[in-house]
Amino acid sequence: MKNSTNKKILFIICGGISAYKSLEVIRLFKKNNTEIKTILTKSAKEFVTPLSITSLSQGKVYDDLFSLENETEMDHISLSRWADAIVIVPATANTISKLATGNSEDLASTVVLASNKQIFLAPAMNVRMWEHQSTKKNLKILKDFGYKLIGPEIGDMACGEYGEGKMSEPLVIYNHIKTHLDKKLKYNKMKALVTAGPTNEYIDPVRFITNKSSGKQGYEIAKSLHKRGFDTTLISGPTNLKIPEDINLIKVETAEEMLKATQRNLPAHIAVFSAAVSDFKIKKRNDYKIKKQDNLTINFEKNIDILNYVSNHNLMRPKLVIGFAAETNDLEKNALKKLVDKNCDWIIANDVSKNDRGFNSEFNEITIHYKNLKKKEKLSYKKKSELSEEIVDRIINQIN
């Protein structure tokens, strides 16, 4: 086995008969130079001890949300940021239920809720519990949130029954997570550039023209790229959205400022242009507030098309250029025209004429048009955070 290059993993061990297998997973990672911290839930202490974990991991074991010692050394927010990945092993039906509902009653659930890192679940439970509709519903919610499942497998269980629900073997879990960490290390050497939000084009010092873009889809794409390990820069027009501190955020107002920021941050391997950049700007901005008058004429001129500029740049063009087409009519026709005219690799089209998706909504429904593959792929209506994970999945597939 190759070394895991000094990565950091936070293990969360839950109460279940399979908890003993988590010790072997920890041993495999520690053998390969991985720094490990562990959270032991209250019920997990019935199956494994902090001493046995510490002796294998040589790292701190946390077990109480309100421990003064733990909070002094590393609070739950810092702990959630410390790891390169979080592994919940075994992930019991109870734990899965708590995570799906956003429960944060103990340290384990609080850390997971506060985390911006990839979270892996290694489920282990009785076959009837695994097949129960509530478990299936909870797992769907977590998968939509971006959690990754490892297993379970079909086999004999400790309760004497046979079926699906048996936790995957430690080596299987190890290989799955190691592959993810190795890819993350690879993508960490790749630069991703994302633009998001509207632009403001000023008429005078207090008035401007803009659009309804919230920037939510672009922000979620930037977060998903960062979570997968990409060196991510987000260039954002005016929004009130928050972004993890370790994503390079550049705030701009006008299309010209966004263009200059984009130029300064090239070259990049991937560029996703989700910003709703104004096509026009005021030809001559007034230096003073314009007073009320009967007749007012405003002259416009075209802004430079940032997507077109980057996509046709001979020296600085990213390997993968993705544009967005936010349309109110003739969605496919306009998207395909933009795909050709702008010379980009993908166009992601969405209908913004409906209030329940697109601008200012938490939800979206998109169609990806691929230039080289000469095909389209529809991603159904769901939260923008979930769509961003699916978009980044496809970005990684194309890169590979």
- Enumerate the active-site residues: 159
* Angle, vertex CA 210, rays to CA 209 and CA 216, nearest 5: 170
Sign, Cα dihedral of 105, 111, 115, 118: negative
The C-alpha atoms of residue 143 and residue 380 are separated, in whole angstroms, by 15
Of 205, 210, 211, nearest to 285 by C-alpha is 205
The C-alpha atoms of residue 21 and residue 84 are separated, in whole angstroms, by 21
CB atoms within 10 A of CB 145: 15
- Return the DSSP state at 109: H
CB atoms within 10 A of CB 219: 25
The C-alpha atoms of residue 135 and residue 98 are separated, in whole angstroms, by 11
The C-alpha atoms of residue 192 and residue 172 are separated, in whole angstroms, by 31
Helix (H, G, I), strand (E, B) or coil at 215: coil
Token output for 277 = 């950049």
The C-alpha atoms of residue 79 and residue 82 are separated, in whole angstroms, by 5
The amino acid present at 323, given as its one-letter code, is G
